[in-house]
Amino acid sequence: MRSFDIEPQFLSQKKISPDERLILALDVSNYDEAIALVEQLGDSVKFYKLGLQIFLSGNYFKLIKWLSKEKKKKIFADLKFFDVPNTVASAIRQLHHKGITFTTVHGNDSILEAAVKNKGDLKIIAVTVLTSLDQRDIEDLGFQVDIKKLVLSRAKRALELGCDGVVSSGLEALELRKLLGEKLLIITPGIRPVINKSTDDQKRTVDVKQAFLNGADYIVVGRPIREAKNPREVANSIQETIHNLFK
């Protein structure tokens, strides 16, 4: 019998291979660095998030092709599309034949609707509130609302508009599961096995185990793996925690 800090009643019930629940944030400066890290990690990581930093390296789609075709990895294109709906629709159409599983969209109803209508087989993941923002940041941006209520409101709207999932802090994942059940995918960044607030720009963080017990379907981990002395060892340790939760 497994031992949990809380009852595992919100553990994801979706049919996802345990070794695909860890998504590595491939936030490196160029194609060669990306290739080297993927080769170093080997089979310890099956799913990669490619964001703006690697996008601006100039070899984004070359890297996607290599990852998906040669290495048989899954791809999360984390580009946070936020523009007029017609532009977002055109951008999404450019992506849905590229071998990508998820992409992120940030914006109001019409932006999300434009993405959903043009997604093809691509899964649209709506951004709720970045994990680098806390309550004070939200208020500075002009939102006079509790951050948890804002996340829940945006997630509910995303579901109603046809989005496949949301990006959410593990702190809000539990409330999302209580409110929406298993209807949405929840992807949780800001995973910090050891939190050092003096040097870290992530403010709303949880550890691996708590993220999944709170209802996350996937976690995104970047610096704790990339900056480790032995990235593969850290990735394997996280995978062991995940397998123990879902076995």
Tokens 């599983």 sit on residue: 101
User: By 3-state DSSP, what share of the chain in percent is helix, strand and coil, each rounded to 5?
Assistant: 45, 15, 40
Tell me the Ramachandran region of residue 176: left when phi exceeds 0, alpha when psi lies from -120 to 50, beta otherwise.
alpha
Catalytic residue among 65, 71, 80, 117: 80
The token pair at 73 is 């990895």
Residue 80 among the catalytic residues = yes
Per-residue burial over 177-205, b = 16 or more CB atoms within 10 Å of its CB, e = otherwise: beebeeebbbbbbbbbbeeeeeeeebbbb
117 vs 89: CA distance, rounded Å: 8
3 vs 16: CA distance, rounded Å: 22
Q: Which residues are catalytic?
A: 80
